[in-house]
Structure 1
């Protein structure tokens, strides 16, 4: 059987599953959001000045960049869940969050004296960040891996890594409401490390969980 025929056969098998793929991913997204929110509210909750902080650009930016990651990675992982799914254009959108961070960091370095750079990068909550973003994102990652299992990804490691990015972005968006560190330098460093950890777990787990 030729490769193209095999891909078409796998795609037809995927479409014949008991639940349509689009429905499965919508349910996965809703469930992941609920689970992340529940863990966040039980363990941390929003910071006392969260509502007032919505008037500050740095606080709002944390949600812009994390939700941009969720949107771009979620679209990509849905495409990767289908055998032969075209992920090229969607992969380019995944560059948007890092570019936003690079721009914000550049503006911060320009606006803030060099003597304050290290203080803003280290912040006051780095260990909490590295602990709770993976904790909040663990259940969503499991949900997205199960959604991948419902499909037939031909690149499971890449699919799992992107699933980890979705889970990490979602967890980081919730955590941002608690985090007292609003500096783009802090977000670019510690949020990125925590999200990368979930992406690594997803890449390692997907070949085992999402086998077909």
Structure 2
């Protein structure tokens, strides 16, 4: 990869194996797909542990390909390299850029993970007034008409921010395992890698393609 190979079939196959190894690294055990309620309260999970949970929901519960998350990271990283801006004089641009890309990659995974719970509650849909006016004032009050409403509850915005960054860090690690760290600034290498991965776009016959 450092010498921009991927020109022969042997080198392309070697790269595909490297990409496959990265997918294995990113793939978490199905046991991490714990129920929603376990992340609601103060259960003591770190952001990295929560990232494992959402990655497991994304891959095992929803059947989403981990390769799509890696390609999303690469796309966001290329876009951010051109568009990411900071206030003049603010230091640590590289660190902030990494946070930005990790966060947006994590948003993609969490949004497609289906990680939520279903709740039912009584919701007021109207008001009913009495037909006969009573001399007792309290009996003239309108009575609520309720109906059972089902809705999905997701993690709060504040709790998702740290989890998204942790997810992005996991995906970034997998991309760097497959691509190295210089792929962003080497368009020829990226083009060759894209060609080498084109065969992976089609799902395998057994449905296990990533």
Q: Which category of TM-score, normalised to the shorter sequence, fits these structures?
A: under 0.3
Q: TM-score, normalised by structure 2?
A: 0.28
Structure with bigger gyration radius: 2
Q: Larger helix proportion, structure 1 or 2?
A: 1
Q: TM-score, normalised by structure 1?
A: 0.28
